[in-house]
Chain A
């Protein structure tokens, strides 16, 4: 037979399958096909963009089919703001939807992290903070620099709490206890939609200024007779992917001698005793020198390097198992779905575990023809044990491991305490890492409920009302303890904090929708909402334990209570209208007014509108053809207001919880408030086009946007000479401009069902600081001894600024009178920028019969980071890079020559007491320097330039090889479907430029926006490989 469209145009590549078998074929270029089947069997014809047809084979040998365009598919429906479903065709802005399977097979424990590389314009960073940690998602660059640039997460139409309470910070460290989105079980997710720009998000109001991620969870569906059961099991193992690299030749010492604190006599011979206070590794080459043993000075010890993987062996393989079972049932009248899941994780740090259990129930019922109810309850329980300490936190094992001298056998440190319970270590300068993981412990447990009830009433054919209320509340109990003798708490410490977090959202929405005339149709929605959120913490920190190992607050001599409460409320009204002409020209208008409790008393009400339009020119101009299937132009303009953190409007005193000599203490808060605080306002416009060719086998979606956020609310650093350290400004402008491209193609589609799909997304964003307030030169987002990251007017957002090499006009490094590197005084300059030039993702998907193979390559190009790991390794002499270019001089000392020219003439003694010119100013140095004077100068002179590294990467983010058992095979089993997949995530970097220091280029990003671009003591990053099994019956 021949398959054509309704106009009689032949359709090549239509897939034809005998139902219930693997017998199938495809139409050829003329649309004709042939297949051998028995009379009475059923043939299914399917083709992208066309309605699938099933026909029973009659006695005739010819079966010609006219396929109908599937309007639902071409103008796919997408969930937009406030849960309003719209056809994609009508959308005047960019939104991208991802199917839930993309998150559940090759999964991340935090579902938001699995967006990496999948959506154009969405930058996701993999943060190595352990399972259950936070995600970092930035859509279209940083618009607000004040602290929160995360998108709003909306689950089934109701925003959820996504704060990271007591977050870890790259500088101060801490523990990443996870954000709000980390509680969502990927198996419950039907799809995720990313609303990128302000246009898309305008209706969600203030918190949506950074974009919105809509998550739709699974329902019971309407076609299931009886109860369907699905079981999904996912088992993965996590192994170290990147790990700092170490020099493996040189021993302890401040200079090329083992720093000795003295000598001792062992068996009549004198041996050096190593100074237990030193910890640097600039010493001599380790070649078996005999010294007094560092543990037992009555014995000798041979100074030899450890095996090069000794630090790696400190860690173990991680393991994650997730099992989910779900039950669903439904028909047109009602449906329900219940899922239960359990996740268990063992981290790469021994003793670190994370468990998560979720129960999710969703039910829907058409109570009458006019009245329906939709409701959900999601209970989430998670428990973390010994989540790793991060960055400069004293509980971060990496802070010690990256500076471990090379003669130390970690196995000898495993017995980390002596018989008195005191820590055992080779040095007093830092903690034994085994003490850290055993005696610095934390435990956290969260019980959370997310739920909503939504009621819909249809007054008539064109008017309905929906009322909803949703809540998200949880209790998070956090316990931590440090044994007596810990370096960070010598007298011991215990703390218990209980967090109570609640977010309630209620809204009501009236929607009228109808055809206005033959050519015109329209809809109008009017609604109001209220948001209330509260975060409260109570608890106490106890220090100085009376009885060792009794970790109860009453056992502490010094008790510091903690109580904080943050409340906010926002009330809003809004309206959205759409006008459509002949189903090819659409106009959308929205307007919203918010009243926010956190703004100044005279400025707390703010209004903002948006307008967008979509023009399907292929329909309007009748351009549709086999080559040009679909074409649309869109344009939009939007304003979105944004408020801020609470309590920025009044000055107060901070009462100190600790007394001194029995006296109470108080101080003025260190931030100058802004009593007239008003909202930030983002103005944005975007243009885009969506075009599809060759019967939808090729699709291009392109967007250009430009947005500018004014009246930035941010606490900027001011001179300490004011006595304050920050001032809340409400001025300034950040501009983001960029393009996004989404390209889909099916290059190969064969009759034998082999198909290759390629999806490519690309985004380029430029974020620029147009202005800050008068008298404010810069906003320092992070500052450490290895430089600052700033927002400075007129410059790109996120410049890395710091000291640099002193150079001559030719760019050669100028060396000092000893032939050493020097920095250019106290001058600083821009050494890099944390923003990538562009990001992209490439997904290849191959399918053949039941097999699918998909790969995701995630690319980030451009952008730099500041590496604190390299800084510390340079300061201590443990990094592999501190052995480059060395040779042994006549005294046996390993030396190198700095790469530069002499700043001044250099004289040497000729042996007769005469100073003779050896090198004239400007000549290349040949002065031999030992390691500490060669590489140690980087940190001694704070030449920050050395620690700014290129953060570009090409990552093989995901591989997924799956097989779905055919219906025929399953016919004799109780299963209705079964699929098994081998999955791998974060497998390897195909390209990175981190100077071989062994830190992931994604390290410099934390979930806190103030902490971007700088890493320190980063934990090894991991790759996960495993298997996913999914069966339904």
Chain B
């Protein structure tokens, strides 16, 4: 039998899960406060049937790399990297759905379990944290074998993968803070002393590529496929966050409204440019208050065919450590130091010059508010901006903490007017894996978009509808 070049499999997985892994104007981005899609009804569900199959399809290929390299002394480098990718994909899936097939999933074709059971998210989180802990030490020892350039993320650099594994473990551990603080504390207390991603140079991302349409930035493809007109607009949440604090990232992430451009052009005064996002779930007259000519869209920076498709950035590590210090008192540096590092890292990612960064930080320091919850809100607001365009992670952090606050219109949908807390299992599971599907549905309290996943345990969210949507005079 011919041996497959396992690098071909890894490239495919990175293409599907990372290059085609996030979309800052898709439906999930609505839930993250990033976007407001045109005619979509974001609370109606039914948008995500492919995520499940796509995740497991790629897990199968990652597992195949692990099987093909297991026990091969010369391929332990590939083996360890594949195991990190495996955790990364499982983590995405469980954050989308909650309980998912894990221990019985993605077996080799000869040992397939056609109806895999659903493991609890709690057990999956425990397993992922342990796995990453082990992989950190595996990767820090010298390992034979490299993917070379087939690894589009780190070119098989084991040290960077080790830092990524630790940072991913930090992301996962922090996620359980409200539901199992002891577990979060156990892992984060180790991680604060370990090698994490320490600069933008170590950021985890895969560049999209313009050799084929399917490898291009999804926003660019959306533009191309829609005659250069984006039906999606920016969410009110992120535009207000950027606008209210005079954030230099505003003009990078967001375009001015068409009407204000017309006005500004006519008098030649760029100060007249306006930035306005649209709240989520508008109905009827509410929608009329937000005509598209008065709405902003995603900035030119994210409309290029080749961009960085995000996985995990240094800024996220900083905000995680800020929260760890603030809420758990873990680590040596103070929260405001990590907060500033996080803001700075994200601004540097966009090439914003030092003067603007310093000016922003001087007027938006963490010290301006006293109480812990307000500090946390500031951290989370900045984290939301820094995560852009990683909408899944931003939505997860909103579910976990309730920040940033997201305004909702009066649309009811399937969620009784609430932002979804998870997405539905694909209908096919009810058909082809019905016993396990029924069991898990009952266990989690119904396969609903309003069912909270295990770690979604902060009693303070979701916030009540603030009712701040203004309906103008007819």
Contacts and interface: CB of A to CB of B under 8 A. Distances in A.
A280 B213 CA distance: 29
Interface string B421-432: 000101111111
Interface string B32-63: 00000011010010100000110011011101
Contacts of B466: none
A665 B288 contact: no
Contact of A723 (B39, B57, B212, B292): B57
B229 A428 contact: yes
Q: Most A CB atoms within 10 A — which of B56, B100, B224? A: B56
Contact of A277 (B46, B100, B229, B426): B229
B227 A422 contact: yes
A777 B152 contact: no
A717 B430 contact: no
Interface in A637-679: 651, 653, 655-656, 658-668, 670, 672-673
Contacts of B426: 720
A660 B61 contact: no
Interface stretch (B108-116, B167-175, B263-271, B399-407): B108-116
A280 B104 CA distance: 44
Contacts of A162: none
B224 A423 contact: no
A723 B293 contact: no
Interface string A176-209: 0000000000000000000000000000000000
A428 B231 CA distance: 8
Nearest to B93: A721
Contacts of A487: 225-227
Contacts of A775: 114-115
B12 A260 contact: no
B8 A664 contact: yes
Contacts of B149: 661-663
Nearest to A666: B8
B29 to A, nearest CB: 17
Contact of B114 (A261, A727, A790): A727
A277 B53 CA distance: 30
A899 to B, nearest CB: 21
Contacts of B436: 719
B39 A278 contact: yes
A452 interface: no
B374 to A, nearest CB: 35
Interface in A740-796: 775-778, 780, 783, 785, 788, 790
A591 to B, nearest CB: 37
A525 to B, nearest CB: 45
B133 interface: no
B105 A721 contact: yes
A422 B433 CA distance: 48
A416 to B, nearest CB: 13
A721 B101 contact: yes
Nearest to A942: B46
A216 interface: no
A490 interface: yes
A277 B430 CA distance: 35
A661 B307 CA distance: 12
Contacts of B104: 721
B363 interface: no
Given A260-B288, A491-B224, A720 B152 contact: no
A651 B226 CA distance: 39
Contacts of B283: 255
Contacts of B212: 543, 558, 560, 658-660
B137 interface: no
B39 A279 contact: yes
Interface residues of A, number: 73
Nearest to A655: B8
Nearest to A729: B114
B334 to A, nearest CB: 40
A488 B226 CA distance: 9
Given A490-B225, A666-B12, A723 B105 contact: yes
A818 B412 contact: yes
B11 interface: yes
A221 interface: no
A660 B15 contact: yes
A660 B114 contact: no
Contacts of A259: 287
Interface in A262-318: 262-263, 273, 275-280
Contacts of B116: 719, 721-722
A558 B212 CA distance: 6
B4 interface: yes
A485 B227 contact: yes
Interface string A812-831: 00000010000001101000
Interface in B189-239: 206-207, 209, 211-215, 224-227, 229, 231
A899 B174 CA distance: 50
Contacts of B8: 653, 655, 663-666
B431 A790 contact: yes
Interface in B271-293: 283-285, 287-288, 291-293
A725 interface: yes
B447 interface: yes
Contact of B57 (A254, A666, A720): A720
Q: Which 7 A-B pairs have the closest CB atoms?
A: A723-B60, A721-B101, A666-B8, A262-B293, A719-B433, A720-B53, A262-B291
22 contacts: A254-B39, A260-B288, A262-B259, A277-B38, A490-B227, A491-B224, A658-B212, A661-B149, A661-B207, A661-B209, A663-B8, A668-B64, A718-B112, A718-B115, A719-B436, A723-B105, A725-B53, A727-B114, A775-B115, A776-B114, A777-B431, A828-B431
Given A254-B39, A279-B39, A487-B226, 14 more contacts: A428-B231, A558-B212, A659-B211, A662-B149, A665-B15, A718-B115, A720-B429, A721-B433, A722-B114, A723-B61, A724-B109, A776-B114, A776-B432, A826-B447
